[in-house]
Amino acid sequence: MTMDFLPIFANVKNKLCLVVGGCTVGARKAGVLLDAGARVRVVAPEIDEALQAQANVEAVLARFEPQHLEGVMLVIAATNDREVNKQVSELAQARNIPVNVVDDPELCSFIMPAIMDRSPLMVAFSSGGASPVLTRMMRGKLETVIPQNYSNLAGFAGRFREEVKQRVTNPAKRRIFWENVFDGVVAEKVLTGDEASAEAMLGQMLADEDNIVRGEVYLVGAGPGDPDLLTFRALRLMQKADVVVYDALVSKPIVEMTRRDAERVYVGKRRADHALPQEEINLLLVRLAKEGRRVLRLKGGDPFIFGRGGEEIETLAAEGIPFQVVPGITAAAGVASYAGIPLTHRDHAQSCLFVTGHLRDGSMNLDWEQLARPRQTVVVYMGLHGLDILCAKLIEHGMPDTTPIAIVQHGTQPTQRVFTGTLATLPGIAEREKPQAPTLIIVGGVVTLREKLAWFHPQQN
């Protein structure tokens, strides 16, 4: 159970509701009920004059009696006498009538949220009684970002809802259609009060539906794991896409940040765990986009660095499907800063190489001459399984066996660990410590800087 209350909106139009208490608070509560179209019976020895005079108010100048609950759909008790409030609450609950007692959560079977009213758009806020002040502050914040005239926009959409439903029958396409409306000029027109133009434009969009509702693919780099390292654009598209295709490298908190109602498709990809082969992923993206969906292809790090993003967009381009590519922080960059290892440094490395240590037929096909050169940093992706070969080959090609080398597991994530040693010692250390994938290997003098920089790197272990 994760919710303390079930939020619902009650239809009280022309229904009889009871308010016990006739002073300021009672009058305010009665006012809310009247705004929602209810008929209100107010019971109290004294009742606010203005309230008594209102249409749809039945004023009963008396102390509360059980019979006042007769025919009532919902009750609010707002007297300053706890005994009376308690009696109202008990009697109402015994009759299964929802009851709210102002400022007394224990006696309530429902609570009243703070509201932001842009009718027909309505936002309700509640902290379940934990902190009404926080709730009101939150409302205050949203009040400033959701303009009053959203009311008109919601009303406008309501008037065309049926027509659009009939013209755009596919629900996925219909959602995209409406999102285009709210994102675009039609909404601008409504918000500036020019509903005639808005209506004309909406008509055009409906006529041209096939062109407007086209699927597309966002190839987005999610970075190495810490959600704070996402780009703004990544986040925006994550909120927009209706289907998410992601693999093992994308951290869980990031997957959780995609739209709640989006479909999520896991396509695996850890060594030996290819949930879907690359060719099938390519075809899947094409198929989803052709259904008119907005597809988020979420990849760890940067899509174009050992991410096979190039192959995916080649297929999309061949099929004429629109796409955009959003860069991400690649593992090397993320790991370097969170582990306190600068990738280049005037005293140690003037260049930096990114290579993949993915084994083909049990051997690593790398340009060892090039990797073994001095005054550079070598970053090895997917290298853990070939660590022994990597160290041996580098030594064989002339690198001193005292060269510093690090393995960083789960870089930028809470489970990040850094193991350091030399070409001679690290394989033994890895054997003992068993780092968990994903890991990144960094070779070169820069690894020693980690100790110097350690004190101002709160993230590193």
Nearer to ligand SAH, 57 or 222 (CB): 222
Catalytic residue, chosen from 48, 226, 247, 302, is 247
Whole-angstrom distance, CA of residue 228 vs CA of residue 132: 30
Q: How far is CA 448 from the centre of its chain?
A: 38
Catalytic residue, chosen from 189, 269, 299, 393, is 269
225 contributes a contact to ligand SAH by CB under 6 A: yes
The full DSSP string for 61-98 is: ES---GGGGTT-SEEEE--S-HHHHHHHHHHHHHTT--
Q: How far is the CB of 325 from ligand SAH (least distance, A)?
A: 12
Q: How far is CA 324 from the centre of its chain?
A: 20
Binding to ligand SAH, residues 385-444 (CB under 6 A): 408, 410-413, 438-440
Whole-angstrom distance, CA of residue 85 vs CA of residue 324: 60
Q: How far is the CB of 221 from ligand SAH (least distance, A)?
A: 7
Binding to ligand SAH, residues 172-211 (CB under 6 A): none
Rg (C-alpha) for the chain, rounded Å, is 32
The closest residue (CB) to ligand SAH is 301
249 contributes a contact to ligand SAH by CB under 6 A: yes
Nearer to ligand SAH, 165 or 271 (CB): 271
The full DSSP string for 180-227 is: HHHHSHHHHHHHTT-HHHHHHHHHHHHHTHHHHS--EEEEEE-BSS-G
Kindly tell me which residue out of 125, 156, 218, 306 binds ligand SAH, with binding defined by CB under 6 A: 306
Nearer to ligand SAH, 39 or 269 (CB): 269
Q: How far is the CB of 32 from ligand SAH (least distance, A)?
A: 51
Cβ contact 371:391 at 8 Å: no
Contacts with ligand SAH, 333-372, as mask; x by CB under 6 A: --x-------------------------------------
Residue 247 annotated as catalytic: yes
222 contributes a contact to ligand SAH by CB under 6 A: no
Nearer to ligand SAH, 204 or 436 (CB): 436
Nearer to ligand SAH, 24 or 436 (CB): 436
330 contributes a contact to ligand SAH by CB under 6 A: yes
Q: How far is the CB of 257 from ligand SAH (least distance, A)?
A: 17
Kindly tell me which residue out of 21, 26, 113, 301 binds ligand SAH, with binding defined by CB under 6 A: 301
Q: What is the DSSP letter of 112?
A: P
Q: Which residues contact 32 (CB under 8 A, 6 or more apart)?
A: 112
Phi, psi of 243 (to 5 degrees): -140, 140
Q: How far is the CB of 306 from ligand SAH (least distance, A)?
A: 4
Pairing of strands 114-118, 121-125: antiparallel
Beta strands across the sheet bearing 294-299 = 263-266, 243-246, 294-299, 216-221, 323-326
327 contributes a contact to ligand SAH by CB under 6 A: no
Whole-angstrom distance, CA of residue 75 vs CA of residue 77: 7
Size of the site for ligand SAH (CB under 6 A): 23
Nearer to ligand SAH, 129 or 268 (CB): 268
Q: How far is the CB of 341 from ligand SAH (least distance, A)?
A: 12
Q: If we measure between CA atoms, which residue out of 289, 376, 368, 377 comes closest to residue 335?
A: 377
Residue 367 annotated as catalytic: no
Position of tokens 């993206």? Answer: 285
Position of tokens 């009303």? Answer: 155
Peptide bond into 404 cis (omega under 30): no
Phi, psi of 154 (to 5 degrees): -65, -40
Q: How far is the CB of 381 from ligand SAH (least distance, A)?
A: 4
Nearer to ligand SAH, 68 or 299 (CB): 299
Kindly tell me which residue out of 302, 339, 371, 405 binds ligand SAH, with binding defined by CB under 6 A: 302
Q: How far is the CB of 338 from ligand SAH (least distance, A)?
A: 9
Q: Which residues of the chain form contacts with ligand SAH (CB under 6 A)?
A: 224-225, 249, 299-302, 305-307, 330-331, 335, 381-382, 408, 410-413, 438-440
Q: Which residues are tagged catalytic? A: 247, 269
